[in-house]
Structure 1
Amino acid sequence: MSQPIASPALSPAPPRHVAIIMDGNGRWAKARGLPRNLGHRQGVDAVREVVRACGRLGIEYLTLYAFSSENWKRPQTEVAGLMDLLRIYIRRELDELARSGVRIHVIGDRTKLAPDIVELISDAEARTRENRKLTLVIALSYGSQDEIVTACRRIAEQVAAGTLRVEDITAETVADHLQTVGIPDPDLIIRTSGEQRLSNFLLWQSAYSELIFADKLWPDFSPDDLAAAIDEYHRRERRYGGSGE
């Protein structure tokens, strides 16, 4: 008598939204006796590989913390080098991203960016607007506290104008005034380099995110490391404040 064929085990669905704090470029360079900007340049290669890996894994949203509002305090030469790398990344990668079904969306304070960078961003967003395979959210000149303050100001203006009642303000009201409106909260946040803090990144949106702190410096972070973090994510029980029983 023939034995029944066992059904193959189904792989768990990937997290819908992964966010990454890309930390450690400077330390990677220092450990090799190189200028910090060469560490940032190496970090761009890691970005390319992780974006490709997210497309293969079926992740719908990837948010990368590229440049914080506090990073403007860094030496001018380093900031200028980072902005040049951003220009290079968009110009070199846009064709592949567009062909691969990646939609680009940038959050952060664009008023501090050079006009040509703002134009590059706007063009990239317009060109990839209809893509749906992966949304690549780039947090650039971004600070979560400023984002929340700005949202509160807009809500207060509506109350003052009489178009919103105070008693009608909910968590959803605040979320609808954040720069990430329409984007699901991150399921998984990864920070590289061994540091264990959020550094003003998606503070509202990360209320129930799973946090994984990887020891590797960002330039050394590979698709295999991403897969390992996702495996760890699947081993956790997400209870959203419940008991899990």
Structure 2
Amino acid sequence: MRLLALPAFEDNYIWALVDDDGDALVIDPGDAAPVLAATGNGLWPAAVLITHHHADHAGGVAALRARWPTLPVFAPEDERIPDASHRVGDGDVVQVKHWQLSVLAVPGHTRSHIAFHGGSAEGPQHLFCGDTLFSLGCGRLFEGTPAQMLASLERLAALPASSLVCCGHEYTLASGAFANAVDPHNAALRERIEEARAMCQAGRPTLPVTLSSERLTNPFLRVDSEAVRAAVTHRLGRPPVDRVETFATLRQWKNDFRA
């Protein structure tokens, strides 16, 4: 079993989970070209999984289905994704060959955003989370509320610690700069940033990353920690009224942040 991060656009990843036969689950192909190019290296799409409607995640589906008309495409219930063959929602299970992935509703970035968690019985479990969770960060709130996004992130954080987080973008260093501003004394965070910097310098993706690492380093998963609450209190000039305000303040701070 191989996990491939196919670069697309400026900083997107199209994920491909490839078995020994070369069949692949393809996740969030915003551009068909990297997937079509990979077929020259023995990859053949067995199914496509879409986390949300944004064009950089779903824009290549039509071209892939033109090439393979019977290719199954699993996507959320959202009319803005017109090329889906199977609509899935919270609690559904996607079964393709020996892969089995649970569907989780994670609204916030968009109203219909979903994530897929699972894999094959003999391999590691993967979390394909689109633009909800990034390494050391999280997605912007385009259609959801802070309360929704916080609940979605906490749902992902509750998955098994060994899960491999496969985000939709290479944002780790930019997110790390903000995380370090919030939580500068976090030794695990400093170690993760150095690791990510070395990976980027070597031309390697900083992903996937274990969920256990994110729990220790990602401020958006640590709204109850003393360090994050202290940083938010300093930012507001008063203690936050609750954990939702802590998260909302962090997210707005990130929106305004310049390294």
User: Shared topology, TM-score over 0.5?
Assistant: no
Greater share of residues in strand: 2
Greater share of residues in helix: 1
Bigger relative CO (Cα 8 Å, ≥ 6 apart): 1
The TM-score normalised by the length of structure 1 is 0.31
The TM-score normalised by the length of structure 2 is 0.30
